[in-house]
Amino acid sequence: MKFDSPAAANPIDQLNVIGKPLDRVEGPLKVTGTAPYAYERHDVVPNQAYGHIIGAGIAKGRILSIDLAAAKAAPGVLAIVTADNAGKLAKGDHNIANLLGGPEIQHYHQAVAVVVAETFEQARAAALLIKVKYQPAKGAFDLAAVKDSAIKPKAGLAGESDTAVGDFDSAFTAAPVQLDATYTTPDQSHAMMEPHASIAAWDGDKLTLWTSNQMVGWAVADMAETLGIPKENIHISTPYIGGGFGGKLFLRADALFAALGARAANRPVKIALQRALMMNNTTHRAATIQRIRLGAGKDGRLTAIGHESWSGNLPKGDPETAVAQTRLLYAGANRMTSTRLSELNLPEGSSMRAPGEASGMMALEIAIDEMAEKLSLDPIEFRILNDTQVDPEKPERPFSKRQLTECLRTGAKRFGWDKRKSAPAHVHEGRWLIGMGVAAAFRNNLPMKSAARVKVDKRGIVTVETDMTDIGTGSYTILAQTAAEMLGVDPEDVIVRLGDSTFPVSCGSGGQFGANNSTSGVYAACTKLRELIAKKANVKPEDLAFDDGRVTAGASSWSLAELAGDEGLSAEDHIEYGDLSKKFQQSTFGAHFVEVGVDIYTGVTRVRRMLAVCACGRILNPKTARSQVIGAMTMGVGAALMEELAVDTRQGFFANHDLAGYEVPVHADLPHQEVIFLDETDPISSPMKAKGVGELGICGIAAAVANAIHNATGIRVRDYPITLDKLIDHLPAIS
């Protein structure tokens, strides 16, 4: 199905099931521990052995030798795979470095060997006996030190690396009110609960992989490319994923080494990456240095907007596109953005929840607050004054729907913004300085092709099949709701089967594009199934009504089961969008409000209240959508106050590579989080009239925390995370 305009009569608009806060359909499996995650699938294939991966002990250089003798002689060892005996391997399209290192080492903890043994303990013990000799080479590990040698990267998903409209330099120089400030964000880890894990088994030349991966189609293609075998010979199953946040978008070492180990040992092999390898071997969000220059008239209108960003990556890697939102968020006639990329020999920088915007908003939304302060304007009114309904770089292209002003106004009223003291450090309760902060939220909506198969059997039970994944987002539930709405059945009569490469290829989970596109793919398949049902009933599709398991046309009525017959009915289709993204800018918007308390004696920050107001199309399920937003808000608080991969700039690795050293927020760190969804449908976005929401919640929230800390203390911190050492020496005295 090609979607290029909203349907006149859309069954989804009935809202009998869509838009209702249904519980997760897979919830009982998860809370009873019976949902099978990758490493726990003990029953899928018998006689499973265990693999343990060894990561490189240097960040750059060569392996001179590997002594395997002691490991081979260790109890229970079945096979050891290194670059010397793995056979010819290629590199998949989505990997920057080789997943198997040797003799060249491209980053610290690059996987160089796997030991396969009868038990996990035997594999780990034998791995410790392997002796690797290296020849280290000099590497670059400090972004600030190599920033001046950065290059202009090629165009990517966020467009060209540089953009320019009008004459920024002249407008900035002439602006009566100016801001020129530099902000930094650190390297961050996905730190999901479930490790990267896989079980691999060979049947002749055919490979089956039970794994944890967000994008099944990409995984199949990259595994086929890496191993040099046909895609048809690879079967991937990933029905449940314990968190990904972008870290499981691509094929990783656990999957490849499970396959290599299984082939070498002639046994099924299971592997889970150690937490240290999750942080140094897999991907992370790259650090940034961002310079923002804003110029405005005394009336508060922006006349010049400039945003430059520097980040680093391995050779041939991509930048952190932190300027993306600045091209679209605020009006201003004279504009400039620039992205530069330095070569670093740290582990690969790649997608992490809201790549680009999450880091960019951390800087931009502090800068906007700083500019409002210079102008003596309320930060909400300053944002509203500079709102726009068209793409500022391409004024001929309107936003399909944009309610940023409504988000800010609604949030201000609900949060009690009128009680905020504009002068910093003027509100305290005992030893606590109290402050409020605000930030806009912005994340683009991405239309992507997505397919599904929908079947109805002789019992009237509907089955949905698509390789779409559920990373904790609620995919099972909203896909069941979509099919139930389209075919007029109870959601309990819908079976959803996900995450299998034998199913039609979906958009996958990432970039907050999963919900809108995957449900639209199911919509397309259901539309085709409705046509088959109409043909069976010998009526026109538009004359049919579906409700309560029955199909009605005029005075005639049939049960869905009756029309399905003994053989059942099945339809498969996909959604695609033509050139809609060229005609309209599709984005999601929101506003974050935060109240903090800062201890006047210790500098410890406590988040006291949080509110997010979101405008992101039709909300398919308010319960699962709220869960996504509060999860994103939680990650944003972590980014603001504690999350940082500490780089050892001598040896080139992340020193705090476990959950003891890499701190993330826990329940005790956060108050109740309130979420408001504006009543919005976007008929341009898809037949579902929905958009994404899972990444919008992280965009801007860190800056709202930073702005609240400034309001509480008068201290402006531009380098994240805002730890107490950056506050304690500058705290005001309480009179």
| Residue 205 CA: distances (Å) to CA of 67, 100, 209 | 30, 21, 13
* C-alpha 27 chain-centroid distance: 22
Please, are residues 127 and 136 in contact by the beta-carbon 8 Å criterion? no
Q: Token digits for 695?
A: 């990444």
Quote the CA–CA distance of 58 and 46 in Å, as a whole number.
37
| Cβ within 8 Å of residue 551, ≥6 positions away | 488, 533, 537, 544, 545, 557, 558, 559, 560, 563
Question: What stretch of H or E contains 354?
Answer: none
Q: Token digits for 256?
A: 């490849």
- CA angle at residue 665 from 663 to 666, to 5 degrees? 115
Quote the CA–CA distance of 381 and 301 in Å, as a whole number.
11
Closest CA to 20 of 376, 477, 593, 452: 477
Quote the CA–CA distance of 250 and 188 in Å, as a whole number.
18
Q: Token digits for 236?
A: 């991937």
Closest CA to 213 of 174, 179, 242, 180: 242
- Neighbouring C-beta atoms of residue 660, cutoff 10 Å: 8
Write the DSSP assignment of 260-286 as a string of letters: HHHHHHTS-EEEE--HHHHHHTS-BBP
DSSP letter (8 states) at residue 505: P
**List 373, 644, 680, 695, catalytic entry:** 695
Q: Reply yes or no on whether 695 is catalytic.
A: yes
| Residue 18 CA: distances (Å) to CA of 145, 541, 618 | 52, 21, 9
Please, are residues 551 and 545 in contact by the beta-carbon 8 Å criterion? yes
| Amino acid type, 238 | T
**Count of all residues that appear for the chain in the document:** 735
Radius of gyration (C-alpha) of the chain in whole angstroms: 27
- CA angle at residue 593 from 681 to 627, to 5 degrees? 55
| Residue 121 CA: distances (Å) to CA of 72, 115, 223, 225, 654 | 15, 11, 28, 32, 26
What is the separation, in whole angstroms, between the first and last Cα of the chain? 68
Quote the CA–CA distance of 638 and 643 in Å, as a whole number.
5
Closest CA to 38 of 209, 169, 224: 209
Please, are residues 368 and 341 in contact by the beta-carbon 8 Å criterion? no
| Amino acid type, 452 | A
β-strand partners of 308: 291, 338
Q: Is the dihedral of CA 256, 262, 268, 269 positive or negative?
A: negative
Quote the CA–CA distance of 528 and 530 in Å, as a whole number.
5
Q: Token digits for 380?
A: 């909400």
| Amino acid type, 49 | A
The pairing of strands 673-677 and 605-615 is parallel
Alpha helices for 458-506 (secondary structure H) = 475-487
Helix/strand/coil percentages in the chain, nearest 5: 30, 30, 45
* C-alpha 253 chain-centroid distance: 20
- Residues marked as catalytic: 695
